[in-house]
Amino acid sequence: MVSELRCYTEPAFFEKAQHYQAVLSSRGVTLQIDVIDKLNARFLRLHPDMALCVDADGLWLCALGMKMQPDWQAEIPRLKRASLKSEMLARACNLAEKPQLIDATAGLGHDSLLMAHLGAEVTLVERHPILFSLLEDSYQRALQDPFLSKVAARIHLVFSDSADYLKAQAEAGQAVDVVYLDPMFPQRDQNQQAVKKQAQVKKQMQLLHLLLPEHGEMDLGDALLPLAQKIAKRVVVKRPRLAVYLAGQTPDHQWTGDACRFDAYFQQDATKVNG
């Protein structure tokens, strides 16, 4: 995982950059701040290596000439169209019941944003220090947004490895309605259609693919399923449509769409399926 990174900023945002430097340092990442005259598209093209940058819109990851952040504002039109009936995710997680939910693989927080919008009380757990800091920054901006602030009020962020977090919840006797898992899945193992879609993957998703290892050390999240089952009435796993089951465990129920599916695992006494 990246432990040192450059951070570009303009003089007007130097203090802001120092704030992120302190935050990331507490999470094990050293930022070297470079103050430059103009943090514009030309500068980013000339400096294609992965770095962070800070400007009026907060913290960004930049690489390959692009700026990327988990853009929750851009999700607003989707949230406005979404309903409990139209969203497979809503049916899989039984959001009509307004569950207490742990999203143990938060990433850019997009799935959680949708689930919180549709009524869930969501705890997002993310272990990657840079991704978590970008997520936290999006969350802070959401709290200031007239539409997103109501959704963000149902969101809680935790910087942790979910294996540790889920174990601690079990030890404390804390149960939840749903644990949601969307671990990384190697692109090479996905079916052709999914790979084609990945090729047109949105700029924001490229952020995940830049930060998270695609080969060798990728953690496929199998260990999270039994830990989640200890504390949740329902565990929902998002998978590419034709992917193998998480931890090789056959689900109790499935919802399948064009590109992905949701596998659900129920506690013995909670097998009622809605939708």
Q: Which residues bind ligand SAM (CB under 6 A)?
A: 105, 107-111, 125-128, 131, 161-163, 182-184, 208, 212, 219, 221, 224
Nearer to ligand SAM, 35 or 208 (CB): 208
Nearest to 159 by CA among 16, 56, 23: 23
CB nearer to ligand SAM: give 185 or 265: 185
Instruction: Count CA atoms within 13 Å of residue 184 on its CB side.
Output: 23
Q: Which residue has the tokens 């899989």?
A: 92
Q: Is 15 annotated as a binding residue?
A: no
Beta bridge partners of 108: none
Tell me how far apart the alpha carbons of residues 125 and 229 are, in angstroms, rounded to a whole number. 16
- H/E stretch holding 67 reads strand 66-68
Tell me if 96 sits within 8 A of 274, measured CB to CB.
Answer: yes
Residue 89 CB, nearest approach to ligand SAM (Å): 10
DSSP conformational letter for 19: H
Q: Is 4 annotated as a binding residue?
A: no
Task: Note whether 146 and 178 are within 8 A (CB).
Answer: no
At what angle are helices 162-171 and 224-231 packed, to 10 degrees?
30
Task: Give the residue with the Cβ less far from ligand SAM, 96 or 212.
Answer: 212
* Closest residue to bound ligand SAM by CB: 107
Total H helices, total E strands in the chain: 11, 12
CB of 208 to ligand SAM, least distance (A): 6
CB of 79 to ligand SAM, least distance (A): 13
Write down the least CB distance from residue 194 to ligand SAM, Å: 13
User: Which of 15/214 has CB closer to ligand SAM?
Assistant: 214
127 labeled binding residue: yes
Judged by CB, which is closer to ligand SAM: 71, or 177? 71
In angstroms, the CA 14 to CA 16 distance is 5
Query: Least Å distance between CB 108 and ligand SAM?
Result: 3
- In angstroms, the CA 157 to CA 62 distance is 23
| Residue 250: CB minimum distance to ligand SAM, A | 22
Choice between 10 and 126, CB closer to ligand SAM: 126
Which parts are annotated binding residues for S-adenosyl-L-methionine?
126-127, 182
Which parts are annotated binding residues?
126-127, 182
